[in-house]
Structure 1
Amino acid sequence: MSTPTSRSPSRLSSLFVEHLTVIDCARLDAVRGLVGESWIVDIELVGELDAQSMVLDFGEVKKRLKRALDDSADHTLLVPLRDPGLQVTHGDGRVTLRHDGAAGRIDHASPACAVTLVDAARIDADALAAHLAPMLKAVVPDSVAELHLSLRDEGIDGPLYHYTHGLKKHAGHCQRIAHGHRSRLEIRIDGERDAALEAVQAARWADIYLGTREDLKSDAGGRHRYEYRSAEGAFMLELPAARCEVLASDTTVECIADHLADAVAALRPGRTVTVRAYEGVMKGAIARRHAA
């Protein structure tokens, strides 16, 4: 999907940047509940050539547009304002919401910076691109007549899963309690990929929330309530327990890989296990368990 913003041009040239960045985020979905996403961002700029015979220097493209994306939807919870199951309240720089959908009720409270409110009935790549395009157009020179923004999934040949989490100890945006990733998974037993194990694990973690045990404040009534305070402020997330897995550790990708390697090693005793866990696109961690 390409979302343009434009003005009347004369003679124009086009500049493109593929894979400018990746937006790692979470979204509320009426059917699936809380869903982690990793969307690759491609852009095209159309405009008159400047004094350097450029539409815009690549360094400026990356600096201006990537910074704008990092400071907007990236590592936030995307909320569809026209979803009939949504209730949102604002006050004192905070956003509190309740979402009732097929996957169960989700309650969330956080600083406003951790939420992106989108004027749409459903969040998908097209809806987010339409939301972001005017904001990006505002940070490029007037000589840029059109800006086309495309969001796409990484092509993954094999199992994948969507997960959400929050890292309260992180100094940056990862501290937000409900951001997420769309991730691939590789499991090797004695050096050979085990497609069956990969498929089972990916299915078990479809649309999972990975929580840290010390942040779990209640597990009553078939629901999990996670709370913590980090540098940005106080965070809370409550959702059905069936959509959660609790780790004894933090939920960094290093800890996730270790958690998975321990689980696989218990299923394959006496074997050498290697887990390659991804955190979104082209990054992640490796954990190994060697046969005794």
Structure 2
Amino acid sequence: MITLFVNRLTVLDASLLDPELGLLGESWLVDAELEGSLDHQGMVLDFGDVKRRLKQIIDQQFDHRLLVPGQARNCRIETSGPRCRVELQLPDGGWLEHSSPRDAVTIIDAPAVNGDSLAHAIGDAITPQLPDNVHRLRLRLAPESIEGAWYRYSHGLKHHSGNCQRIAHGHRSRIHLFLDGERDATLEAAWARRWRDIYLGTRADLLETFERNGVPCYRFGYTAGQGRFELALPRSRCDLIDTDTTVENLARHIAATLAAEHPGSRIRVRAFEGVDKGAIAEA
């Protein structure tokens, strides 16, 4: 037997429902190991095939989706035809409701969604598609190692033609902020606290403000190319943006906000969207 490995095969960007914390955006780096015997080419599997087969399944079944723990006691899942409705009751009295096409949700057969349970679910989806000479697949999912400030956010882009239109997908992102040409770690940490585990909603998509169990809530909704999407969650877990929440607009929003808070200073923002990509804005 010999083992083939591929580090950083892909980045999986998604949102998950945490039984304790609610809606969380996350970005996982995916590493893969395939153990097997050599084929007629002297390979376990060609690297091109590894990337194509594994990444295709991850992209189609897990990426840019809401990942729901199917065994969580406080989570209720209802499917009807092409629709899926998920409701989560939080220990602190908070509540969340997500309604969308079924393809925007993946149910993970576990009490919680984490790197291990997600790796197991992805492995179950991939293994039947591997050739007979591959005897074992091992996956490792881990967040990016970040020194300094970072935040997790969820959002949806109703005008996007692809899967970014799904109302609850997300990212774990670092943030670099410069004040008068100097990087400012204190400013970065403050912004990371501001957007830690946040839902970034477009103001035009806000359907109503209401209370549930005494907790103020927002309900967002829109119709996009894939269908109707709605999301309700505590107002305290949201920040409203005047534009679509693309990373370009988020960088501009951060820059404008900081410029107003630091009049006369030059602001430069490097806002990341997940791993190794993002947008720069100045004010």
Length-normalised TM-score, structure 1: 0.94
Alignment partner of 1:248 out of 242, 245, 249:
242
Alignment partner of 2:124 out of 134, 138, 145:
134
Bigger Cα displacement from structure 2, 214-223 vs 112-121 = 214-223
- Counterpart of 1:39 in structure 2 is 28
Aligned length: 278
Map 1:124-163 → 2, pairs under 5 A: 124-163=114-153
**Contact kept? 2:151, 2:172, Cα under 8 Å:** yes
**Contact kept? 1:33, 1:102, Cα under 8 Å:** no
Structure 2 gaps of 5+ residues are none
CA–CA distance in 1 between the matches of 2:170 and 2:156? 8
- Counterpart of 1:88 in structure 2 is 77
- Counterpart of 1:106 in structure 2 is 96
- Counterpart of 1:6 in structure 2 is none
- Counterpart of 1:9 in structure 2 is none
CA–CA distance in 2 between the matches of 1:117 and 1:182? 21
- Counterpart of 2:201 in structure 1 is 211
Map 1:153-232 → 2, pairs under 5 A: 153-221=143-211, 222-232=216-226
SS in 2 for 1:157: coil
1:189 alignment partner AA: L
- Counterpart of 1:75 in structure 2 is 64
**Contact kept? 2:35, 2:134, Cα under 8 Å:** yes
CA–CA distance in 1 between the matches of 2:44 and 2:20? 43
**Contact kept? 2:210, 2:218, Cα under 8 Å:** yes
Length-normalised TM-score, structure 2: 0.96
SS in 2 for 1:71: helix
CA RMSD of aligned residues (A): 0.9
**Contact kept? 1:24, 1:39, Cα under 8 Å:** yes
Deviation by residue 1:167-221 (Cα, 9 ceiling, x = unmatched): 1111111110000001100100111111111111101111100001111111233
Structure 1 gaps of 5+ residues are 1-11
**Contact kept? 2:18, 2:113, Cα under 8 Å:** yes
Confirm whether residue 264 of structure 1 aligns to residue 242 of structure 2: no
Query: How far is 1:139 from its partner?
Result: 1.7
Moved over 2 A (4+): none
Deviation by residue 1:106-140 (Cα, 9 ceiling, x = unmatched): 00100001001011111111111111112111222
- Counterpart of 1:238 in structure 2 is 232
CA–CA distance in 2 between the matches of 1:171 and 1:50? 40
**Contact kept? 1:39, 1:152, Cα under 8 Å:** yes
Bigger Cα displacement from structure 2, 99-108 vs 195-204 = 99-108
SS in 2 for 1:63: helix
- Counterpart of 2:271 in structure 1 is 277
